Structure 1
Amino acid sequence: MWTLKVYSCETHINHALDVFVAKEETFPIMEKLDEEKMLSTKCEYCDTPASYIVANA
Structure 2
Amino acid sequence: MKIYCCLEHTELALDVMVDEIELAPVFEKIENSTDKKSCEYCDNEAVYVVGN
**Which TM-score applies when normalising by structure 1?**
0.84
2:18 to 13, 17, 21: 21
Moved beyond 4 Å, runs of 4+:
none
Give the C-alpha shift of residue 40 in structure 1: 1.3
2:2 to 2, 5, 26: 5
Where in structure 2 are there 5+ consecutive unaligned residues?
none
Partner SS state of residue 12, structure 1:
helix
Aligned residues: 52
% identity of equivalent residues = 42
**Which TM-score applies when normalising by structure 2?**
0.91
Q: RMSD across aligned C-alpha pairs, in angstroms?
A: 1.2
Give the C-alpha shift of residue 20 in structure 1: 0.4
